[in-house]
Amino acid sequence: MKKRTWVFYTFITTFFWGIWGALIEIPEKAGFPATLGYCVWALTMIPCAAVALKMVGWKLNFDRKSILIGCSVGLLGALGQLILFKALESGPAYLVFPIVSLFPVITIVLSATILREQTSRKQWVGIGVALIAIPFLSYQSPNHNMHLGYDWLFLAIAVFLMWGIQAFAMKFGNESMSAESIFLYMTLSALTLTPLAFWMTDSTKVIHWGFKGPYLAAIIQIFNAIGALSLVYALRYGKSIVVVPITSLAPVLTIIISLVLYAVFPHYMVLIGMILAIMAIYILAE
């Protein structure tokens, strides 16, 4: 029963994040910047947190340790997202995303050494295949006309570390507090950083405030919020060294949906990643 539970929540996260990834560019291309999209996402976390807390009778962990862990999880994830925006401003996506996408390595190392998580030899093979697949799935066509400095590299490494530690902290928190409390503190942390996201928004550009702006962004970002909530539950019941690599393969679904909606055939590097990802999912979830 426990295995079926973590598999269920893991695939809910992967499924919803895959849909979110395929649709998130629509409001951005319509003129609604990603920084404001972050603000909308933070707001969509509120109803998810309310539903989760209602299901457990509004019980919340108020002790100092729980607040510290919960807010750390939230700030690491939310601040990492804002730093990623800056990394993509100064560096190319085809270099930034492969670095950031390998954050499960940090989670696996921390969980295996500190939490002493163990798994079968077969699943270790699946983890290895997943880690190989992730940078392939994150492949972007190079832009050789772009002048590169080094700011983007330090920012990308910062996100890589922050997201890897965040997933570990999420699992660590589940050992002593409820998943619902973790998600509430994640929500509050995300909301706390919305003024920073507003400040980062380029006010010199025209912002689209119609349906394809904040309203469509809200519809799309709710997939992201539900996926985040499901991840907390997946890490309650499953091992982070298995759950995190699987959820990092959400781009497989994103690519498939994008192919259907936009008729964009993926690069052969991405196709290799998709094949490896399918193999990894099969091995890890078996």
147 pLDDT more than 70: no
The Cα 268–Cα 113 span in angstroms is 36
E strand or H helix that includes residue 71: helix 64-90
68 pLDDT more than 80: yes
14-30 burial, b for 16+ CB within 10 Å, e for fewer? bbbbbbbbbbbeebbee
Higher pLDDT, 98 or 40: 40
Q: Residue 264: what pLDDT?
A: 74
Higher pLDDT, 62 or 285: 62
Q: Residue 182: what pLDDT?
A: 97
41 pLDDT more than 80: yes
What confidence tier does 2 reach under pLDDT thresholds 50, 70, 90? low
Give the structural domain span for 254. 2-285
Q: Residue 187: what pLDDT?
A: 97
245 pLDDT more than 80: yes
Number of compact structural domains in the chain: 1
149 pLDDT more than 80: no
pTM: 0.90
- 164-165-170 Cα angle (round to 5): 105
Residue 194: C-alpha distances to residues 33, 78, 147 (Å): 13, 9, 30
E strand or H helix that includes residue 149: none
Mean pLDDT of 101-117: 92
- Phi first, then psi: give them for residue 145, nearest 5 degrees: -85, -5
For residue 189, the one-letter residue type is: S
Closest alpha carbon to 250 in 41, 21, 95: 21
What confidence tier does 72 reach under pLDDT thresholds 50, 70, 90? very high
What confidence tier does 1 reach under pLDDT thresholds 50, 70, 90? very low
Mean pLDDT of 101-113: 92
Q: Which residues contact 68 (CB under 8 A, 6 or more apart)?
A: none
Percent of the chain with pLDDT over 70: 96
Q: Residue 35: what pLDDT?
A: 94
Q: Which of 6-15, 111-120, 228-237 is predicted least confidently? A: 111-120
For residue 227, the one-letter residue type is: G
Average model confidence (pLDDT) for the chain?
Answer: 90
Q: Residue 263: what pLDDT?
A: 77
Q: Which residues contact 130 (CB under 8 A, 6 or more apart)?
A: 104, 245, 246, 248, 249, 276, 277, 280, 281, 284
The Cα 151–Cα 220 span in angstroms is 30
Q: Which of 93-97, 184-188, 229-233, 240-244 is predicted least confidently? A: 93-97
Q: Please give the torsion angle defined by the CA atoms of residues 166, 170, 175 and 178, in that order, rounded to the nearest 10 degrees.
A: 150
Q: Residue 171: what pLDDT?
A: 95
